[in-house]
């Protein structure tokens, strides 16, 4: 959840009423693209390059074929029209560990997993799996009496709140050896919390200024249009030579509107009241979050309690919204059932909830788990690692979003993103964990999403994660972006492979996806944490991940078929 929020709010925070910064970035990007064009040895795949669809929203672009089309899609439609039409399939359960799913959405209700061994609403654990009335999954963000948890602190905030009174005046020389690792984490968290609070306060001041500017711009536009109601269509059609009206029109069309102000206000309020507030405690579950054996909590309500809790529903739609039914977008996978495991709040997830969510998904039949969330502190990372290993032992593949901070994860040592398959770059604790970066719809220098984390030793592959159209609560759809959207694309590919080639293990499916990746030989702008304050840096696309490529369902199926046949021949 946090990954998505950071990606979207970074865009909000970066918007300004003046155009000079945007113009400068555009000029720099143009220079980079011209340089790419000149470098004849770096060929586009296969022959096109450029920003044909820049700024446009293209529904289902992620399913296009990169050879025959204009965009770096996954060849989903090509795979269904050729390979998949002749292959028998069996149902695969995909667990979405997230913020909850609208299980009644018209484009999802047909694909929601149902626990056939549980009798709905009888208050009895019929299947004796430890969870009462878990018909469509489990909600770890709730109490046994049915209450739903709301916003949460960030993990850094929780660490500071827990240890500040005990350690605020201490040095490491005062700390027993068995507590020193935690003490170092506390010191880092305290610095990060102070930095984030400073940033939140600056956003609060920015909000006041921009709210005033939006109000003035609205008055200018309303007067020019002689209306009290502004719409994008009305403002776009406005003809004027008045500099003030031109500036107001430009800002409005750029997105600096009342809606933007409200989103920014909600974001700032969330930060200051909940995420960064050491005096706030959102844990209502009634358990001890520091005791992994205290598991008697949660409830079976896996649906989001409010409209803006849309993340899990969007992720589920990317994987499995019904294909070609004439509404909404199209999912990657057919022959799947989506299990909803609600464990990710608006804030940072608890390690305990995630470890138990993984175990729940595994024990109840999931063969793929999607994890579109993350954080940079994990006090109980060993619990999550044990759960990842448990999934590996039970042949379950975990597909994870790499994160939206523009970081080189190979360089981050003790600040690596969690969950992960080991915090030493290149040294994995298991072979069932895929880490996914995000791409946009254009071949060219800006193909890699500017917010995406990357790493030659830590990120496995890239997939479409910008301008992705999918389900959101209450029967609606929305375009969203983030590595949160890239991960379920790959989870969908994994589900298709597992449904057609069930003899392949989770580790083999991971290897097939990586080995079949397409590697366009182009230079791209390397993501940066500072949002390109300096000159953009060009790097080979292949240098940003282990596979050096982008996921492709068609290629993956061809390779899966070959691996499966070879495996069968050796029996």
Examine residue 468 and state whether it is found in any structural domain, yes or no.
yes
In the predicted structure, residue 33 carries a pLDDT above the cut 70: no
Whether residue 268 is found in the same domain as residue 317 = no
Whether residue 209 is found in the same domain as residue 257 = yes
CA distances from 174 to 164, 182, 188, 529 (A): 14, 13, 17, 35
Examine residue 299 and state whether it is found in any structural domain, yes or no.
no
Domain tally, the chain: 2
Dump pLDDT digits (tens) for 508-532. Answer: 999 999 999 999 989 999 998 865 5
**Domain carrying residue 187:** 155-275
Angle formed at CA 102 by CA 98 and CA 106, multiple of 5 degrees = 140
Percent of the chain with pLDDT over 90: 82
Examine residue 139 and state whether it is found in any structural domain, yes or no.
no
SS3 assignment, position 454: strand
Whether residue 312 is found in the same domain as residue 270 = no
Whether residue 262 is found in the same domain as residue 386 = no
Helix or strand run (H / E) with residue 563 = helix 553-569
Whether residue 352 is found in the same domain as residue 420 = yes
Task: Yes or no: say if 4 and 480 are a contact pair by the CB < 8 Å rule.
Answer: yes
Q: Which of 231, 253, 275 is the last residue of a domain?
A: 275
Nearest to 270 by CA among 308, 217, 318: 308
Whether residue 21 is found in the same domain as residue 104 = yes
Whether residue 318 is found in the same domain as residue 259 = no
In the predicted structure, residue 50 carries a pLDDT above the cut 60: no
Examine residue 4 and state whether it is found in any structural domain, yes or no.
no
Sorting pLDDT into bands at 50, 70 and 90, what band is 233?
A: very high
Task: Spell out the residues 6+ positions from residue 330 whose beta carbon is closer than 8 angstroms to its own.
Answer: 60, 63, 76, 321, 322, 323, 324
Dump pLDDT digits (tens) for 109-149. Answer: 999 999 999 999 999 999 999 999 999 999 999 999 999 99
Examine residue 519 and state whether it is found in any structural domain, yes or no.
yes
DSSP 8-state symbol, 537: P
pTM of the model: 0.89
CA distances from 440 to 11, 52, 72 (A): 15, 12, 8
Instruction: Identify the pLDDT of residue 56.
Output: 63
Whether residue 52 is found in the same domain as residue 199 = no
The residue ranking higher by pLDDT, 95 or 29, is 95
Q: How many residues does the chain have?
A: 571
Examine residue 22 and state whether it is found in any structural domain, yes or no.
yes
C-alpha to C-alpha distance for 126 and 398, rounded to whole angstroms? 28
Query: Other CB atoms closer than 10 Å to residue 144's CB: what's the count?
Result: 13
Q: Which of 275, 298, 333 is the last residue of a domain?
A: 275
CATH number, domain at 381?
Answer: 3.40.50.200
- 92-98/137-139 β-pairing: unpaired
Examine residue 298 and state whether it is found in any structural domain, yes or no.
no
Rounded to whole angstroms, the maximal C-alpha distance in the chain is 79
Sorting pLDDT into bands at 50, 70 and 90, what band is 425?
A: confident
Sorting pLDDT into bands at 50, 70 and 90, what band is 443?
A: confident
The per-residue pLDDT of the chain, averaged, comes to 90
Instruction: Identify the pLDDT of residue 58.
Output: 84
Whether residue 176 is found in the same domain as residue 268 = yes
Whether residue 30 is found in the same domain as residue 86 = yes
Whether residue 559 is found in the same domain as residue 507 = yes
Helix or strand run (H / E) with residue 480 = strand 476-480
Q: Could you tell me if residue 89 is left (phi over 0), alpha (psi between -120 and 50 degrees) or otherwise beta?
A: beta
Q: What does 201-227 look like in DSSP terms, one character per residue?
A: HHHHHHHHHHHHHHHHHHHHHHHHHT-
Examine residue 126 and state whether it is found in any structural domain, yes or no.
no
Instruction: Identify the pLDDT of residue 54.
Output: 56
Percent of the chain with pLDDT over 70: 89
Dump pLDDT digits (tens) for 250-293. Answer: 999 999 999 999 999 999 999 999 999 999 999 999 999 999 99
Whether residue 321 is found in the same domain as residue 267 = no
Dump pLDDT digits (tens) for 156-172. Answer: 999 999 999 999 899 99
SS3 assignment, position 540: strand
């Amino acid at each position: 959840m946090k990954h998505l929020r950071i990606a979207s709010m970074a865009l909000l925070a970066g918007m300004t009423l003046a155009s000079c910064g945007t113009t400068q970035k555009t000029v720099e990007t143009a220079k980079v693209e011209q340089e790419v064009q000149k470098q004849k040895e770096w060929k586009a795949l296969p022959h096109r390059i450029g920003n044909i669809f820049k700024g446009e929203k293209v529904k289902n672009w992620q399913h296009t074929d990169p050879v025959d089309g204009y965009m770096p899609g996954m060849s989903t439609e090509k795979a269904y029209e050729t390979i998949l039409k002749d292959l028998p399939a069996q149902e695969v359960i995909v667990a979405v560990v997230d913020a909850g799913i609208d299980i009644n959405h018209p484009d999802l209700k047909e694909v929601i997993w149902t626990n056939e061994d549980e009798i709905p609403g009888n208050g009895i654990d019929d299947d004796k799996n430890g969870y009462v009335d878990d018909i469509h999954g489990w909600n770890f963000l709730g109490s046994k009496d049915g209450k739903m948890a709301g916003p949460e602190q960030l993990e850094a905030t929780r660490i500071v709140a827990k240890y500040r009174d005990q350690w605020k005046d201490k040095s490491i020389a005062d700390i027993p050896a068995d507590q020193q690792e935690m003490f170092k984490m506390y010191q880092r968290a305290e610095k990060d919390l102070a930095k984030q609070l400073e940033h939140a306060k600056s956003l609060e001041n920015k909000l006041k200024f921009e709210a005033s500017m939006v109000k003035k711009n609205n008055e200018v536009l309303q007067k020019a249009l002689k209306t009290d109601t502004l719409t994008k269509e009305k403002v776009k059609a406005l003809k004027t030579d008045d500099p003030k009206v031109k500036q107001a029109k430009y800002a409005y069309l750029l997105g600096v509107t009342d809606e933007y102000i409200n989103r920014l206000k909600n974001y700032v309020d969330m930060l200051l009241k909940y995420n960064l507030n050491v005096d706030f405690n959102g844990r209502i579950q009634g358990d001890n979050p520091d005791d992994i054996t205290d598991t008697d909590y949660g409830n079976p309500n896996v649906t989001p309690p409010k409209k803006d809790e849309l993340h899990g529903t969007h992720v589920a739609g990317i994987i499995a919204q019904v294909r070609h039914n004439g509404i909404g977008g199209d999912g990657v996978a057919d022959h799947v059932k989506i299990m909803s495991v609600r464990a990710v709040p608006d804030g940072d997830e608890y390690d305990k909830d995630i470890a138990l969510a993984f175990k729940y998904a595994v024990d109840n039949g999931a063969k793929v788990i999607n994890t579109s969330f993350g954080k940079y502190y994990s006090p109980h990372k060993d619990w999550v690692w044990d759960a990842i290993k448990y999934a590996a032992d039970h042949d379950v593949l975990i597909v994870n979003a790499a994160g939206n901070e523009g970081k080189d994860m190979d360089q981050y040592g003790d600040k690596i993103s969690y969950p992960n398959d080991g915090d030493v770059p290149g040294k994995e604790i298991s072979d069932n964990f895929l880490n996914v970066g995000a791409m946009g719809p254009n071949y060219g220098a800006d193909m890699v999403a500017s917010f995406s984390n990357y790493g030659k030793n830590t990120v496995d592959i890239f997939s479409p994660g910008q301008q992705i159209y999918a389900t959101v609560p209450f029967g609606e759809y929305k375009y969203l972006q983030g590595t949160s959207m890239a991960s379920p694309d790959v989870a969908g590919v994994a589900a298709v492979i597992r449904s057609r080639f069930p003899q392949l293990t989770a580790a083999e499916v991971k290897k097939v996806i990586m080995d079949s990746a397409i590697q366009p030989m182009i230079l791209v702008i390397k993501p940066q944490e500072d949002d390109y304050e300096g000159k953009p840096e060009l790097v080979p696309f292949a240098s940003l991940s282990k596979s050096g490529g982008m996921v492709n369902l068609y290629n993956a199926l061809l390779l899966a078929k070959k691996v499966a046949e070879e495996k069968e021949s050796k029996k």
